Structure 1
Amino acid sequence: MVLKTAIFFVISIAAFAVMFTTMAPLTGFLSYHDVPRIVKDNNEETNWFALTESLLWDIFLVLLFIVQHSMMATPTWRGLIYNLGLVVVERSFYIAATAWALQYIMQSWLVIPDYPLWIIDTSQSTPWWWFFTLIHVMAWIIIYGATFTMDLPELLGLKQCLYRDTAWEFALICTICLTARFTNKGIQ
């Protein structure tokens, strides 16, 4: 029993570490606005094959993330985890798989500099560069700050592991009672 708890705790800590090490690169991946751009000469022919190939690859990466994220939230997946006796680390698996999917997307993403969706050149204008940098910093502070208002250890799967032997059964019973109380007839 102690060995199983220790293994679950190591899995939860590893998932937390993987997610933690994914968030900083993800912030840079989503926010970096000084991407070197190649300005296309009007006389150059459009390489539609390269454009289509890059777009399809990036769409595939996004779909891969959506499928991974959705499949791990299905009752089938949860039933499999339950049958294997891994309910305590289900959230940790979900977090780690999401982090690995995001890392794969960041490493495999194909930038299409010839055809940007929008161009705001901040390299020549220091005030614009500072404006966009401050907007990004403020937005990420709000996003990361909001996570501290949530129960982060539970969100990342650490609490489930820590409470496995002590309060897990009690929390499960409370959840079942509350669910039964709020279903069909509303609050009684």
Structure 2
Amino acid sequence: MNWKLKDVVMVGLISVTFAVVYLGFVYFASFLKPILAPFGLEPFANELVFGVWFMASTLAAYIMRKPGVAVISEMLAALIEVLMGNFYGPMVFVSGFIQGLGAECGFAMFRYKKFDMTSLMSASILSAVFSFVWGFFRNSYSGLAWWYVLAMLAVRIISSMIFSGLIVKRIGDGLKRSGAVSSYPIATEN
């Protein structure tokens, strides 16, 4: 992996930006929980917005197109989020690694040669699946009804496809059109 100073700066900018966004959505999901609780849907508060928490990894990889960028940007965003006061604590850093690894696998499926909606969706879906498996064991989802667990997974995947797939593609393409990322591979590759 050949990194230049501009690559480190880009990962830093994306990670800091999304750490703030991530922390905001932690509080937003917490706001949704009591609204959904009377309907037995409290766990869905996080699932509805879970795709937001993968956006640093998919955006950084979409712009920079280098192996390892997804994991590094997601872990850095998670670390900054923890330092800013995420009430889930240091385990968020482990979650960041797992989420970034899922995104990394999505881009690796295409050998880091294809960066389009298909690869973004693969990265988004694998981030959702990897994080869900981690959450299944960490949060004891095995105690829930199987159909409820599958519904949670489906909502997480859809959220991921919307936020870290569709929205990230629009953000990345918008940055490309603006010229803000003209010195990165996104500007010269399809």
TM-score past 0.5 threshold: no
The structure with the largest helix share of the pair is: 2
TM-score, length basis structure 1:
0.29
TM-score, length basis structure 2:
0.29
Bigger Rg, structure 1 or 2: 1
* Bigger RCO (CA 8 Å, 6+ sep): 1
